[in-house]
Amino acid sequence: GDYTGPLRPQIHFSPPQNFMNDPNGMFLDANGTWHLYYQYNPTGIVGGNQHWGHATSTDFYHWVNQPIALFPPEETVYVFSGSAVVDVNNTSGFFPDQDNGVVAIFTLAHGYYGPQTQNIAYSHDGGYTFEYYDGNPVIASNSSQFRDPKVIRYDDYCVAVIAYSQEFVVGIYNSPDLKNWTLASNFARHGLLGAQYECPNLVKMPVRDSNGSMVDSKYVLAISIQPGAPLGGSITEYFPGDFNGTHFTPLGSATRLTDFAKDNYAAQFFHGIPDAQNATVPTGILEGWRSVTTLPRDNYLKNATRIGLVMANELCDLSPVLDASLNQSTIGNGSVTVDYSTVDSGALYIDANVTGINTTLVTPDSTLNLSFTSPASGETLQSGFFFGGDNPFFINRGLIRGFDNVFFTDKFSTANIYSDGSGSLASWRMQAVIDRSILEVFVNGGDQAGTVLFYPTQPLSLLHLATRDLPTGAKVSVSVLALKSAWA
């Protein structure tokens, strides 16, 4: 793959060339290698002819592209999304002499309108090559809308969640050996339905208190809906709840979204950790590749006053790609400008901590604005806080001109669910990673996360951070670091 294009993210994973959609089969092996598989069309820049692409990393940022891991068994059959487990105890019987056997479970779509069935393949070499099981399918079906099995272990058996997409049902299946599956229960018509359910995930997640200590654990059921998200397009919603091995019971009737912006879909949780949109975006035409994974995130639950359990998305350790510090400053009402045109990767990490806000003095104009500009074209990506509002954090990609499409909405904002209802907090934090054509922001350490893609006609290279009408006594500590390319 050629990773030099001006829109190519440098610390994110994107496919060597052609089209990627969902992450699949993600697991951590016993040697500390992270395996990422992904929906891949090796012959085109739009979805179709689906395979499982494969990449590995030991630090989440430096990825090595591996040969395609799963090929369609025959023409006009497509390998759709799914998951993988390491079968340490050889419950499947495929691995009499090893403890690093990998079983992938995935949907085979017989044409785009034919039946979707669940199938398995096993790997004797730790996940690099797979053989199809000769007893496939392991779950037969006549439905053309039955897909995306995600497997976890529970006690001494396995549990799979699988979407009956257009019936808005997640089937919960049990298996002792990954070959024989029985339907244990259905989770039907919860939350936002959109036009269909896809890529369900069930995972056990720690509940952490405000000091970050684990105080409990709960299950989270995540479902991706597409299309029909509130902002248009697709989105991942989730339900915190209890799981007893056969039934998932949500804690309440509410559903929540994993991202306040728009470009984060079909999230998958890694297996083996101890206790994406269909328009012709410019990367395809200009650079011959499409889609990017988010940065790895640490997910956990925490309690929000009035609201209950909410899933946090914390940015993982960036140290493998951190480079020189470009600016460290503390300001009150003022501004910081950083010209990063000499940073080869074009990628930055920004951390802004706002403290000491006297909330009674906050006005509607009390803001922190962060912008990334191209001096050559004048295009600007904007984001920032309104400290007084109920929608405190926003992103605006409407002033970037490299891609124009009615479905490519441009303004996003968070809801302030962590306040006591007054809409103000005395301190705020914003962490942001900008990487050529993707921005990820994490508000208050991951209470809220936003992911947006943007396609400038010229590289953005000037960072400007400015505060306005900050109450006396409030200050902003800013730190800006260059990120080094993981692909150079």
Q: Write out the catalytic residue numbers.
A: 22
Q: Between 198 and 259, whose beta carbon lies closer to ligand FRU?
A: 198
* Pair 295, 435: CB distance under 8 Å: no
Name which of residues 366 to 405 contact ligand FRU (CB under 6 A).
none
Task: Candidates 9, 10, 19, 22: give the one binding ligand FRU (CB under 6 A).
Answer: 22
Min separation Cβ 78 and ligand FRU, Å: 7
Name which of residues 312 to 341 contact ligand FRU (CB under 6 A).
none
How many residues lie near ligand FRU (CB under 6 A)? 13
Q: What is the distance between the alpha carbons of residues 185 and 161, in angstroms, rounded to a whole number?
A: 10
Name which of residues 248 to 307 contact ligand FRU (CB under 6 A).
266
Cα dist from 196 to 80, 168, 226, 293, 325, whole Å: 16, 6, 6, 22, 45
Residue with tokens 């079909």: 266
- For 209-270, strand residue ranges (E) read 214-225, 235-243, 248-250, 256-257
For the window 41-60, what string marks contact with ligand FRU as x by the rule CB under 6 A?
------x--x----------
Min separation Cβ 45 and ligand FRU, Å: 14
Q: Does 39 bind ligand FRU (CB under 6 A)?
A: yes
Q: What is the distance between the alpha carbons of residues 163 and 172, in angstroms, rounded to a whole number?
A: 9
Q: Between 107 and 437, whose beta carbon lies closer to ligand FRU?
A: 107
Which residue(s) pair with 429 in the sheet?
353
Min separation Cβ 318 and ligand FRU, Å: 28
Q: What is the distance between the alpha carbons of residues 478 and 465, in angstroms, rounded to a whole number?
A: 9
Q: What is the distance between the alpha carbons of residues 385 and 393, in angstroms, rounded to a whole number?
A: 4
Task: Candidates 14, 18, 21, 258: give the one binding ligand FRU (CB under 6 A).
Answer: 21
Q: Between 199 and 235, whose beta carbon lies closer to ligand FRU?
A: 199
Q: Does 20 bind ligand FRU (CB under 6 A)?
A: no
Q: Between 107 and 283, whose beta carbon lies closer to ligand FRU?
A: 107
Cα dist from 208 to 302, 320, 425, whole Å: 5, 26, 20
CB within 8 Å of 118: residues ≥ 6 apart:
82, 105, 106, 107, 137, 138, 139, 141, 146, 149, 160, 162, 181
Q: Between 268 and 383, whose beta carbon lies closer to ligand FRU?
A: 268
Q: Between 267 and 295, whose beta carbon lies closer to ligand FRU?
A: 267
Q: Between 109 and 400, whose beta carbon lies closer to ligand FRU?
A: 109
Q: Between 148 and 379, whose beta carbon lies closer to ligand FRU?
A: 148
Omega within 30 of 0 (cis) for the link into 67: no
β pairing state of 146-154 and 157-164 = antiparallel
Torsion sign, CA atoms 374, 8, 319, 204: positive
What percentage of the chain's residues is helix, strand, coil (to nearest 5)? 5, 50, 50
Min separation Cβ 266 and ligand FRU, Å: 5
Task: Candidates 199, 315, 331, 463: give the one binding ligand FRU (CB under 6 A).
Answer: 199
Name which of residues 130 to 159 contact ligand FRU (CB under 6 A).
147-148
Cα dist from 47 to 112, 190, 289, 425, 443, whole Å: 11, 28, 12, 44, 33
Distance from chain centroid for Cα 111:
28
Q: How many CA atoms lie within 13 A of 29 on its CB side?
A: 20
Name which of residues 79 to 108 contact ligand FRU (CB under 6 A).
80-81, 107
Min separation Cβ 401 and ligand FRU, Å: 28
Min separation Cβ 165 and ligand FRU, Å: 7
Q: Between 233 and 459, whose beta carbon lies closer to ligand FRU?
A: 233
Q: Does 205 bind ligand FRU (CB under 6 A)?
A: no
Min separation Cβ 22 and ligand FRU, Å: 5
β pairing state of 18-28 and 289-290 = parallel
Q: What is the distance between the alpha carbons of residues 163 and 306, in angstroms, rounded to a whole number?
A: 31
What tokens does 353 get?
A: 């901590």
Task: Candidates 51, 86, 198, 440: give the one binding ligand FRU (CB under 6 A).
Answer: 198
* Pair 272, 29: CB distance under 8 Å: yes
Min separation Cβ 14 and ligand FRU, Å: 16
Min separation Cβ 55 and ligand FRU, Å: 17
Q: What is the distance between the alpha carbons of residues 169 and 188, in angstroms, rounded to a whole number?
A: 4
> What residues make contact with ligand FRU under the rule CB under 6 A?
21-22, 39, 47, 50, 80-81, 107, 147-148, 198-199, 266
